[in-house]
Structure 1
Amino acid sequence: MTLFFLVRHAAHDNVGSFLAGRSAGIALGEAGIAQATRLGERLRRERIEAIHASPRERTQETAAAIAAACGLTEVDIAEALDEIDFGEWSGKTFAELDADPLWHRWNSERALARTPAGETMSDVGRRILAFMEALAARRADANLVLVSHADVIKAAVCRVLDLSFDAWPRFDVSPASITTLLARDGDARLVTLNEIVP
């Protein structure tokens, strides 16, 4: 069996005020650096064998802190863990997005809607689960950390629990949280959801 620790990146200074998406140059703030350090201390107890992270700066910084605590020297950059491609929405404030009817459709009909770049939650769920299945086939009995983004982790959880993607607002994936999935014999189950490290 392969144990996956799906970690949402720690907080940047303006989390909650704008849609970061795939915008460049968004790094962890002071609070986020402290969160990432605590994540490392928590995950050091799990005998982590490898860390994979989205290419975004905030995930790379979070992964580096975990790697340092776990005695690992490398973090694998994985495109499959990247943030949803929000296209022209990336970098906009939520007040700006609130005026866009397509934004409202995205948030009310996630099972059907597409971002301006054309990505759906189904696309996101498919890419992260395919990545996890490939890792599980190669790394049986490993404990692996995947550092990603809230909606990517939510897409994985919805797929594993066989929930509609419209269920996304019914559970939280907080900054610097850990959601644990266990993969065995081509199947996966949810072990923990949104563990907050004090």
Structure 2
Amino acid sequence: MPTLILVRHGRSTANTSGVLAGRTPGVQLDERGAAQAAGLPGRLAGLPLVAAVSSPLQRCRQTLQPLLDARPGLPLHTEDGLSECDYGDWSGRKLAELSDEPLMSVVQQHPSAAAFPGGESMRAMQNRAVDAVRAWNARIEAEYGEDAVYVLCSHGDIIKAVVADALGMHLDLFQRIHVDPCSVTAIRYTRLRPFLLRLGDTGDLAGLAPREQGLGADATPADDADHGSHAQVGGGAGAP
């Protein structure tokens, strides 16, 4: 199945002001976030991307825009299932204020039991995000083949929830995962299980490009750990 390149949006005005943005309209990239987005095409230059998928929120679309400008033929799709968590009544409030709310301890230590007043539960957030990713994996594979690579721009909690699912982690452990603004997380999905290739990476990404299989005439892609479902014992040799 395809390789998914998950990009968290660049730093936003809400990030710098300490506000929980949620789905509040009008939240844009700040100056540093715009610079991070401008660097994304260079970081992804070695990857044969077949499509881009974005959360509907403005900060994600802004993050992908330089990449789309650099690759005029790259199709862009919007996916509501990858939108930010609906924080309900917490949206637009200062994080410093929310730290004193009793629910914050649940969000941090037992997120599977957390439901935001007037919003959604964290379990619902993970379920719809994972469902969206799985649906896009199937669509991309059907249109472009099992070695396709595509990029999806979303939000911190969404990416953490998708990573937790890929790792087989309970949602209650997902707060142990951290992804910086405009960082790249890469997951290669296979028939039997996903492989986490990068987590919160802010450096060079050329090693994520599909490799030549190098298989014998009688071999199948499943015989190669890079294309099949076998973990590389000892960690493997890494990118050439």
| TM-score w.r.t. length of structure 1 | 0.92
Note if contact 2:14-2:27 (Cα within 8 Å) is conserved in structure 1: no
Q: Percent identity?
A: 33
Q: Say what the alpha-carbon RMSD is for the aligned residues.
A: 1.7
Deviation at 1:73, TM superposition (A): 5.2
Q: Does the residue aligned with 2:13 lie in a helix, a strand or coil?
A: coil
Q: Does the residue aligned with 1:11 lie in a helix, a strand or coil?
A: coil
Residue in 1 that maps onto 2:212: none
- Establish whether residue 4 from structure 1 lines up as the match of residue 9 from structure 2: no
Residue in 2 that maps onto 1:19: 20
Q: Does the residue aligned with 2:49 lie in a helix, a strand or coil?
A: coil
Residue in 2 that maps onto 1:49: 50
Note if contact 2:52-2:74 (Cα within 8 Å) is conserved in structure 1: no
Distance in 2 between residues matched to 1:110 and 1:81, nearest whole Å? 18
Note if contact 1:44-1:70 (Cα within 8 Å) is conserved in structure 2: no
Note if contact 2:89-2:119 (Cα within 8 Å) is conserved in structure 1: no
Q: Does the residue aligned with 2:66 lie in a helix, a strand or coil?
A: helix
Distance in 2 between residues matched to 1:27 and 1:118, nearest whole Å? 22
Matched positions, count? 198
Alignment-mate amino acid for residue 172 of structure 2: D
Distance in 2 between residues matched to 1:63 and 1:46, nearest whole Å? 15
Distance in 2 between residues matched to 1:169 and 1:106, nearest whole Å? 9
Assess, with a 3 A threshold, how the Cα gap between structure 1 residues 15 and 150 changes in structure 2: closer, same or farther. same
Note if contact 1:122-1:155 (Cα within 8 Å) is conserved in structure 2: no
Residue in 1 that maps onto 2:32: 31
Distance in 2 between residues matched to 1:39 and 1:155, nearest whole Å? 23
Aligned positions of 1:147-166 closer than 5 A: 147-166=153-172
Residue in 2 that maps onto 1:195: 201
Provide, for residues 12-50 of structure 1, a one-character-per-residue CA deviation record: whole Å limited to 9, x for no partner: 134151101111101111111110011121112201111
Higher strand share: 1
Distance in 2 between residues matched to 1:7 and 1:86, nearest whole Å? 21
Residue in 2 that maps onto 1:109: 110
Residue in 1 that maps onto 2:191: 185
- Greater Cα offset, 8-17 or 140-149: 8-17
Note if contact 1:41-1:69 (Cα within 8 Å) is conserved in structure 2: no
Instruction: Structure 1: state its 5+ residue gaps.
Output: none
- Establish whether residue 173 from structure 1 lines up as the match of residue 179 from structure 2: yes
Note if contact 2:14-2:20 (Cα within 8 Å) is conserved in structure 1: no
| TM-score w.r.t. length of structure 2 | 0.77
- Greater Cα offset, 33-42 or 186-195: 186-195
Deviation at 1:180, TM superposition (A): 0.2
Provide, for residues 50-79 of structure 1, a one-character-per-residue CA deviation record: whole Å limited to 9, x for no partner: 101111110010011222223345421110
Alignment-mate amino acid for residue 9 of structure 2: H
Assess, with a 3 A threshold, how the Cα gap between structure 1 residues 74 and 55 changes in structure 2: closer, same or farther. same
Instruction: Structure 2: state its 5+ residue gaps.
Output: 142-146, 205-240
